[in-house]
Amino acid sequence: MLVIGLAGGTGSGKTTVADALVHAAGAHGVTVLPQDAYYRAQPDVAALTRAATNYDEPVAFDTPLLLAQIDALRRGEAVDRPVYDFVRHDRAAATVRVRPTPVLIVEGILVLADRELRRRFDLKVFVDAPADERFIRRLQRDVRERGRSADAVIDQYRSTVKPMHDRYCEPSKRHADLIVPEGGANRAALGVLRGFVRDLVGALPAEALGA
């Protein structure tokens, strides 16, 4: 199994890059573990306190669980990935069954900021994009998909998102094997990554792909 760590700031285009790799390898070739599915559960915390949590620092994530599930997938074992409810700011009761595939992509803002996660990555990619573009994408996503108001998104960006990006995410770029400027708009970089994954999966026997 090839494990790719795919990092970058919020709204940088990580999902676009991950989708391109999934398309290159085929549905049976790639699994994606989004880091934001692994936010810590807060069932005993008041709703207003959960809403005010700093979700952009390392302690917000249940990294031990993410590490354990990466290790299980590498051993060929299926796992039950958590689901995070971004409207309630808490982990949902439902889980998603994830089975091992030849390529595993671990995608999130801080996946290169953690040493133990980096040790498990065969390829480390950082998706870069201008700060103003990243903010616009986050604003659109959180209002459209996560039930937030524009004012709430702006307040969160000022109070935690930008400071934590500068403290944790941006410095993690130095650990990357490959930096993708302009995010998903960088067709040349996407072509290189797609070709790399396609060649790897194409060299595997049919039984490795579940055929």
Please report the pLDDT score of residue 27 as a whole number: 64
Please report the pLDDT score of residue 211 as a whole number: 40
pTM of the model: 0.83
Give the amino acid at 114: D
Please report the pLDDT score of residue 205 as a whole number: 57
In tens, the pLDDT along 25-79 reads 776 788 999 999 999 888 888 878 877 788 889 999 999 999 999 999 999 999 9
Taken in order of first residue, the domains within the chain and their CATH numbers are 2-201 (3.40.50.300)
Contacts of residue 121, defined as CB under 8 A and 6 or more positions apart, other chains included, come to 3, 4, 5, 106, 111, 112
User: What are 5's two structure tokens?
Assistant: 């760590």
The 10 Å Cβ neighbour count of residue 6 is 30
Which of 75-84, 90-99, 136-145 tops mean pLDDT? Answer: 75-84
Q: How far apart are CA 96 and CA 90, in angstroms?
A: 16
Region of poorest pLDDT, from 95-99, 122-126, 144-148: 144-148
Q: How far apart are CA 104 and CA 28, in angstroms?
A: 11
Q: How far apart are CA 87 and CA 50, in angstroms?
A: 10
Q: Read off the pLDDT band of 206 (50, 70, 90).
A: low
User: What are 205's two structure tokens?
Assistant: 């026997």
CB 124 within 8 A of CB 7: yes
Question: Of 142, 162, 161, 160, which is closest to residue 150 (Cα–Cα)?
Answer: 142
Please report the pLDDT score of residue 81 as a whole number: 97
Three-state SS for 136-179 is HHHHHHHHHHCCCCHHHHHHHHHHHHHHHHHHHHHHHHHHCCEE
Taking the CA atoms of 118, 168, 138 and 178 in sequence, report the sign of the dihedral they define. negative
Length of the chain: 211
- The proportion of the chain whose per-residue pLDDT surpasses 70, expressed as a percent, equals 94
> Which of 158 and 100 is assigned the larger pLDDT?
100
Question: In whole angstroms, how far apart are CA 170 and each of 26, 91, 128, 178, 192?
Answer: 31, 27, 9, 14, 23
